[in-house]
Amino acid sequence: MKRVLVGGMHHESNTFNPILTGMKDIWVKRGNEILSMNENNSMKGVVSTLLEAGYEVVPTLLARAVPNGEWDYDVYMQLKNELLLMIKNAGEIDAICLTLHGSMRVHNLGEAEGDLLHDIRLIWPSIPLITSLDMHATITPRMLQYANGFVGYKCAPHTDTFETGIHAANMVVDILDHGAKPSMSMCRIPMLVAGEQSETSVEPMKSLMSNLRLLEKRPHVMAASYLLGFPWADSSPNSIVSLVVTDGDKNLSDELSKELAEVFWARREEFHFYNETLFPEKALEVALKKIDTHAPVVISDSGDNPTAGSSGDVTNFLKMIINNPLVPQLYPPLIYQCFYDPSLVELCIKKGIGSTFIGSLGASFDKEKSTPIMREMSVHSIRKNWDNNGVDIVLLSVGSVDVVVSSHHVGAYDPEMMKSLGVDPHERKIIVVKLGYLEPEIRAISNYSVMALTDGSSNEVLTSLDYKNITRPIYPLDTDFEANLVVS
């Protein structure tokens, strides 16, 4: 029985966010915990496919966290060394299949994936190594050097993570059972695009991704991906790439990756915001006008989106909402989900439901982009251990607005968060979420949505960000240049 080792680290690191991702932000599964996972994520796809192929799966360590700032160096080294020790102690193996993100960064180190793959190759320098990647992976020369093949998600929002894990595992099967000898080529496209301009249900991404799927049906093509980089990471290799893996034909992988890059570059001006997207004042104005016919209306506070790695504590949009004279007339109140403020959550739990006090909300971590809101607050409900990671959440009124506050840095897209605090989102006229494009869970509730171009570490107006390290020229920061599309 062939033995395939599995594991991974998965994080989208926002360099504009001052928070360092620490151990309390990360969930880790080890050994058989990986084999018994219920989530339909990429690792589940890898494991189930390898088991069905008759292989022994050798689980090691899988570490994940909600997008945030760069990882704390000591935390990364601790988990990496634990993973490497598991690999050393795994015995003889025939291949490695990882699930990585591709845009994970470590404070005072830089890219994580290239560093991790390098150290794995010191242990197993020549066995097949395949990994799935997030669509927003940033491919670096070291990543390309130390892996045999990558395949990225093809859906945004990322609804195909399980399928991508299956794809990565099938590449391993092709190598071990059918003798495939993967050849991987990529072509760098000097371009950035925010996720909210690259949803795959609409053009141009819809047809670009359809083309990848057609390409993968061709003989000798094992995988074809567009990996979009991560626009909120100021790093020199950050850009979009086209990447093709063939079963041994280097000329074919070079040719196809170049063709894909040329097609993508030619369509660069077609990328735009697909939903109604407005600056904050106008977004709130439109939402207030729509409530009589389209409630609940959902506004995305896109500049402070924790699932794009922002801090989740920027207060500027909430201040605007509180100061709007029409907002106090809403009943039930406008609800805002959610702020990351562990000190305030701790205080609310201590004072208890029904308490009223002068408190401080927000700007606990990112103190440059906003300031705290200091005013009277009332605690309406508390939910301890809301999820399996020990997250505590509270619902409190701040002025005439209901605000969900979390003890941990979490995504704000799940309506179950407010439901668990006693809120029926269908009854609310306006819901504000710290999010970009609407994830399926919140989209199912919304009768009308608008994205507000707010402040934060995931600011959607890329030309307003202070990039210092990214390689120039790059579109849309620069527009008057011709791309030099070179295959690696």
pLDDT at residue number 275: 85
Answer whether residue 186 is part of any domain. yes
Q: What is the separation, in whole angstroms, between the first and last Cα of the chain?
A: 35
| Helix (H/G/I), strand (E/B), else coil: 14 | coil
pLDDT at residue number 438: 87
Q: Which residues pair with 97 in a beta bridge?
A: 6, 130
pLDDT at residue number 274: 84
Torsion sign over Cα 448, 453, 455, 461: positive
Interval 460-478 mean pLDDT: 95
Is pLDDT of 388 > 80? no
> Do 151 and 226 fall within a single domain?
yes
Interval 152-168 mean pLDDT: 96
How much of the chain exceeds pLDDT 70, in percent? 100
One DSSP character per residue, 350-406 reads HH-TT-EEEEEES-SS--SS---EEEEEEEEEEETT-STT---EEEEEETTEEEEEE
> Do 139 and 20 fall within a single domain?
yes
Is pLDDT of 345 > 90? yes
pLDDT at residue number 195: 86
Q: Which of 64-68, 118-122, 184-188, 437-441 has the lowest mean pLDDT?
A: 437-441
How many other CB atoms sit within 10 Å of the CB of residue 390? 12
> Do 288 and 262 fall within a single domain?
no
Q: At what angle do helices 205-215 and 250-266 cross, to 10 degrees?
A: 170
> Do 295 and 151 fall within a single domain?
no
pLDDT at residue number 128: 98
Interval 164-183 mean pLDDT: 98
Predicted confidence band of residue 439 (pLDDT cuts 50, 70, 90): confident
Q: What is the pLDDT of residues 12-45, one digit of tens each?
A: 999 999 999 999 999 999 999 999 998 899 999 9
Answer whether residue 486 is part of any domain. no
Is pLDDT of 440 > 90? no
Answer whether residue 108 is part of any domain. yes
> Do 242 and 287 fall within a single domain?
no
Torsion sign over Cα 476, 482, 484, 485: positive
> Do 332 and 250 fall within a single domain?
no
> Do 256 and 381 fall within a single domain?
no
pTM here is: 0.94
Mean pLDDT, the chain, as a whole number?
96
Answer whether residue 465 is part of any domain. no
Torsion sign over Cα 88, 133, 159, 22: positive
Answer whether residue 87 is part of any domain. yes
| Domain ranges, residue 174 | 3-270
Answer whether residue 384 is part of any domain. yes
pLDDT at residue number 175: 98
Interval 162-174 mean pLDDT: 98
> Do 240 and 337 fall within a single domain?
no
pLDDT at residue number 389: 81
Interval 463-481 mean pLDDT: 95
**Number of domains present in the structure of the chain:** 2
Q: Are 457 and 366 in contact (CB under 8 A)?
A: yes
Helices (H), 147-229: 161-178, 205-215
Interval 372-379 mean pLDDT: 97
Q: What is the pLDDT of residues 244-291, one digit of tens each?
A: 999 999 999 999 999 999 999 999 999 999 889 999 999 999 999 999
> Do 313 and 201 fall within a single domain?
no
Q: Are 147 and 126 in contact (CB under 8 A)?
A: no
User: Among 270, 305, 332, which residue terminates a domain?
Assistant: 270
Q: What span, in angstroms and rounded, lies between the C-alpha atoms of 464 and 269?
A: 18
Q: What is the pLDDT of residues 359-370, one digit of tens each?
A: 999 999 999 999
Q: What span, in angstroms and rounded, lies between the C-alpha atoms of 358 and 373?
A: 10
Answer whether residue 32 is part of any domain. yes
User: Among 246, 270, 294, which residue terminates a domain?
Assistant: 270
Answer whether residue 475 is part of any domain. no
Q: Are 262 and 256 in contact (CB under 8 A)?
A: no
> Do 70 and 170 fall within a single domain?
yes
Q: What span, in angstroms and rounded, lies between the C-alpha atoms of 260 and 187?
A: 8
Which one has a higher pLDDT value, 174 or 39?
Answer: 174
> Do 248 and 106 fall within a single domain?
yes
> Do 155 and 91 fall within a single domain?
yes
Is pLDDT of 3 > 80? yes
Q: What span, in angstroms and rounded, lies between the C-alpha atoms of 148 and 128?
A: 6
